[in-house]
Structure 1
Amino acid sequence: MIALLLAGAACQQPAAEASDATGGAAPEAGADAIPASTPAPAQDAQRPLTESDKLLLEMAEAACRQNDFTGFVAAYARSPILRARHTAASVQHGQPGASKPVTRDRYLAGNLFPITMIDTYWVTSDSRRAFDAADGDAQLLVIAAPDINVASDGRARVDWVSGRMDYDPQINEGEGSFVQTGPGGYLLFYPTKDCWELVEDVRSPG
């Protein structure tokens, strides 16, 4: 059921990297040096690692070594530990033209990162929490369709929208068309000396 509801979203708006991001891509780097990733808060460092934690940490480390932002953000979106380690000390958060700095601790404590994954599919974080609270009711999941661009200076931007899949009963299961039904936003990551960190989370009105 989950696969039927979600399959095809990535095909409709694939995550694509480019050496020079265009059309809503990350801005050019300024003269200021970009800081290294900050350490995780103490409470994160003290929490015992699960097998899932270890797997996601390994995925992220490999993606960072290979300069693979798409692989990194897929792990980052699913791991609170990675979000703690790779979120800037201050994140610009809010609507376009009205975003304000939010401390890392407040951003993480509020579970504000807007998208996550279930299996290989992107969904909104709010709908994933509703799905978990309802013992896996797939009807509650809302698809998130990301568009990933990486600029030549290493800055990365994820533009995303929320929606659903429309299926034609005459075609094969798993095929369908993505229909935007809600707002989205964009996420901006800056490169650090060894990976990336989130610096901006802007939401479209709606």
Structure 2
Amino acid sequence: MIRVLIADDENLMRAGIRLILANAPDVEVVAEVGDGGAAVRACREQVVDVALLDIQMPGGDGLGAVEDIARESPHTNVVMLTAFGEDGHVARALRAGAKGFLLKDTGPSELIRAVRLAAEGESILAPQITRRLIERHLRSGTDRTSVARRKTDQLSDAERDVLRLVGFGLSNAEIARDLYISAGTVKAHLSRVLTKLDCANRVQAAILAHDAGLLADRP
């Protein structure tokens, strides 16, 4: 069973998430809390595989809690769940160690899927968030095309194919389906891609894929 913590200061939101996850036979909600400090304590006191954290809560927000959970409960994978999807929040959450970032209007099936992927240690980012970060990067006016192309020239054809699909916001499972390879192979390719490109996460890789011109044609 995947043991899940829900942290949100709105009772109705917690209840809604709990009802959605109740439809997944492999998921168990083991704790519900209303602030970031309580989330940290819950992860410290029991086994939590995935923590779903709201961004803004009284008594310690979700962003601060990510850092504490990463330090005190490193086996817990954190997915941020927010109505805002602001770029600064995404960047800070990823730097702090969050495994995923989803908007609160995410559908039930996508939420369950995200919990399962996070439990496996996979990074999850809503495609619309990835697109927004790329658009923000473009508005900066910085020309990084030549640098990006030099970096991606290091990649094999298979690694470049994986990077391109990461750029469109696809998960490892979706990339595996599109490329007709196993999820394990995708994970191995992506690990090499991040190392070769010196990228800390999927968002950085997606931005570099755009800079290199790999996203000219949608899959």
Question: Which category of TM-score, normalised to the shorter sequence, fits these structures?
Answer: under 0.3
Q: Which has the higher contact order (CA 8 A, sep 6+)?
A: 1
Which structure carries more helix by proportion?
A: 2
- TM-score (norm: length of structure 2): 0.27
- Give the TM-score normalised by structure 1: 0.28
